[in-house]
Structure formats: C-alpha cells, structure tokens
Structure 1
Amino acid sequence: MWGSIFFTDSDGAAVLLRATDPAKGLQWAGGDVEFTDPSPLHTAVRECFEETGILLEPDPERLPLLATVVEQPRNGWPTKIGFAFFGGALSPEQVAKIRLDPAEHTEVLVLTRDELAKTVEPRRAQLTLAVLDAVRTGVPAYVVR
C-alpha cells in the first residue's frame, strides 16, 4: 500500500518530481506505507516532507482524498493499493522552494494537461490526468491499472 500528496500550481497544472531512476519517470511525493505509519495519509505526509521539504498535517479535512489506485499484479509485484491526497495549489515561490532529495529526484516539473498528454508515458499520464480531474470536480477518482 502507498500514499502520496499531489500538488498543482496556482494555474491548475500538475507539480511532478522526476525520479533519479529513469524507469520510475515522473512522480508525486509519496511512497510505501511503513509499519510505523498509522495510515496511508500519514505515509503521504511523511514522504512529502522527506522528498520535498513541505511539511503538512495529516488532516483528512485539509488533505482530501483525490484517488484510490488499484495496481494490478505486474513485473513480479502483487496487487498494490495507493491513495493520492490533495496538498493544494502551490504558488510559484512555493514550487521554487521545493527541496529535493537527490537520491530520489532530480527536478521539479510543472505540466499542464496538454503537456502531460504529449510528453509523459501514457500509463503515467492517464493516472495524473485522472487526479487532475478529481481536483477540478471534487469527485475522487477510482483507477484500476
């Protein structure tokens, strides 16, 4: 199980992190639930701070659920369930202040829906587009992939 925090910029574009491992592509701040994490929201908040320096409170009222993601078994992994929570819209100054862990990420990118569809691998783009739709509509996505 995993938890993540998804941010947009003030114009509604996706804020993404480029993984140091090219096979992992563009990501949101997040990771796998650890034994000490009481919930996927706590995981998302912990990982967000570790990966970006952005400290949030694990409050479901302030970090609403955007998506439940069921990842079907593939490449030797069993089924995984993930949860994406909305961290809000970041100002250009907040995006510029993101502190990356160089062992995990190399850069911050801000991509519009059109840029996502044109430049990001389709499987990853589809998930981020579903989450952007959830931000826009307020209706959490349920994604099986």
Structure 2
Amino acid sequence: MSIDVLNETEFRLDELELVACARYVMGEMKVHPQADLCLRLVDEAAMETLHVQWMDLPGPTDVMSFPMDELRPGSDDEDPEEGVLGDIVLCPSVAEKQAAAAGHATEEELLLLTTHGILHLLGYDHAEPEEEKEMFELQRQLLLTFLATRGRNGA
C-alpha cells in the first residue's frame, strides 16, 4: 500500500499518524494491499479554488476526495481490485476551526477527515439520510477502533 502525504501548508502534523490512519481504514475496508492513495494538505485559497472548480460552491471546505480507479471495498468472497484509490485534499486551517468548535484536537479532526475522504473514494456518500447514517456510523467505528489501536482516548 503506497500512501503519499504532500503538505503544501505551514501546518505541522504527525504525517506518520495520518498515514497509519489511512492504512488502517483501507485495511479494514479490504482495499487491495497494492492500492495507492495521496493525501494532500493545502491552504484555504487552494481549497477554495478546488471547491469552486469541482463543486461550484464558494469558500474553502475541509476535505475533498478525487477517486481515480473507482475501487470499492473488498469482501471475504472476492479479491479486491488493484489500482489507484485516488487523492484526498485536506485543509488544515478549516479542520482547525472545526476541531475547536467540536472541542477536540486538530490532529483528531484531520484523522476524521482522512477516514471520511477514504470512504468517499470507496463510493460512500451522505447526500441522502440513509446514506449519511450508514457512512457516518462506519466512519465513527473506523476512527474509534483506529484510535483504540493507537492507544489514544476517543475522538
């Protein structure tokens, strides 16, 4: 599994923990062990440009996902497909504001957003109430079990 982190910001974070979270989520979702993922951290101006270009929405957002080979979660019955999972673009300054409002650390918010982004790359969405319930419950379970395996208290 190849996971690249491109930090184009001044924000300092534990890139190894971000990679460990991504690796854990991809493993739990039975993504092919040779799948590639890129995590890119950008400032608000760059995120706003992407948000307007791809979603036609103003202002920066916290996370955007760009699937490449449209990989889906694997199953016990069939081998997962090999390929490029895609890119996740994170905006640490937006994440920092959200973390402060939620009462947890920015690093935990970035782990949450990484998990969220991977689920989007795997075809999960939250446009409809049932989809949102499924995706957010899975996201919560994945993040909490990752944090527990890392010896940290809940998010």
| TM-score > 0.5 by shorter chain | no
Q: Which has the higher contact order (CA 8 A, sep 6+)?
A: 1
Considering fraction of residues, name the structure with more strand.
Answer: 1
Considering fraction of residues, name the structure with more helix.
Answer: 2
Question: Which TM-score applies when normalising by structure 1?
Answer: 0.29
Question: Which TM-score applies when normalising by structure 2?
Answer: 0.28
